[in-house]
Amino acid sequence: MIQQFNKLMDYIENHITEEISGNDISKIVGMSDYHFKRMFSYLAGMSLNEYIKNRRLSLANVELINGEKVTDIAFKYGYQSIEGFSRAFREWSGFLPSEVAKNKIQKSFPKFTFIIDIKGGVSMEFKIEKKEKFNIVGVSKRVPIQFEGVSQSILELAQSITQQQREEMHKLADLYPHYVLNVSYDFDEGRLEEKGNLTHMIGFATTKENTFDDLEQITIEQSIWAIFPNVGPFPQALQETTAKIYSEWLPSSDYEIVDLPSISFTKHGGSTDKVYSEVWLPVQKKENR
């Protein structure tokens, strides 16, 4: 995985003045836009789009010092106007392009290189489990992709569930964990910003077929799952576990993500400092590339 990320950094560098396609990037790293952007964000501490913008402005800084025209630089790095370029450059460097050109002010943003960094020697609890084909029955909504924090759109979806729907879901639920599942799938593709959407379902796992008109159903084929239990304050422990999965476990493991829904659940009730949650990630053994 680290090798693919560094290959991507080389690709971006070689195409820095061109439009960089999210689909092309997905082919290089071997995973969907959504999962890649999430992993990159955790590893790099910024979005991929922000990284590309910073690299372009850093190179533009060098060209300004070397005497290139602001107009030529702006259009070279994909800006539609001098004003747009000047505004972005000032937000990034603190100076206008003209000030940099006149006073030879240098600000840099180096190309990223990814390495495996084992932090603290703390083991991460997980298990690999094969699950037979099963259904998830519940309610769903298209929501904005959001890597961190509480999603207002998902909160609104949860609040929209009626008592009748809750009773119907409980009648169908017959599989572990017998708790409400949060399921994310059908991610927008081809975009570099975290501005796309995904479908989020709140429901229960079941072997039964949905017979209720006010509920929806998705079917998940037989697959392998990496399951990460965690206990701690909610939602911090769940979010920290997810961050470690993408930034530490995946890059150094023998597994890669497959294009199936990602699932989590939380057992609410009792102390908010010791809440049990699980994150389920659909995976397969890595192939030699």
Sole residue written with tokens 């997905």: 26
DSSP-assigned states of every residue in 128-186: EEEE--EEEEEEEEEEE--SSS--HHHHHHHHH--HHHHHHHHHH--STT-S-EEEEE-
pTM reported for the whole predicted model: 0.69
> Is position 172 within any domain?
yes
CATH of the domain at 268: 3.20.80.10
Do 175 and 63 belong to one domain? no
pLDDT of residue 252: 75
107/264 Cα distance (integer angstroms): 42
Based on the fold, state whether residues 59 and 178 are members of the same structural domain.
no
Q: Examine residue 10 and state whether it is found in any structural domain, yes or no.
A: yes
List the chain pLDDT tens, one digit each, 289 residues.
Answer: 677 888 889 999 999 999 887 778 888 887 777 777 778 887 787 888 889 999 999 999 999 999 999 999 999 999 999 999 999 999 999 999 999 988 888 888 888 887 655 454 445 688 999 999 999 999 999 998 776 667 899 999 999 999 999 999 999 999 999 999 999 988 776 444 556 788 999 999 999 999 999 999 999 999 999 999 999 988 888 888 888 888 778 877 888 888 899 999 999 877 778 899 999 999 998 776 5
Domain region containing 250? 127-285
In a domain, 144, yes or no: yes
Does residue 264 sit within a domain? yes
Distance in angstroms (rounded) separating the CA atoms of residues 279 and 239: 10
Give the torsion sign (CA, 83, 85, 90, 91). Answer: positive
* Domain count across the chain: 2
Q: Answer yes or no: do 281 and 170 share one domain.
A: yes
Give the pLDDT of residue 115.
65
Same-domain status, 144 and 86: no
In this prediction, residue 119 carries a pLDDT of 52
148 and 94 fall within a common domain: no
The answer to whether residues 157 and 253 belong to one domain is yes
Please report whether residue 176 resides in a domain.
Answer: yes
Is residue 113 in a domain?
no
Question: What region, left, alpha or beta, does residue 9 occupy, with left being phi > 0 and alpha being psi -120 to 50 degrees?
Answer: alpha
- Please report the pLDDT score of residue 246 as a whole number: 83
DSSP label at 38?
H
Instruction: Report the distance separating Cα 40 and Cα 70, nearest Å.
Output: 31
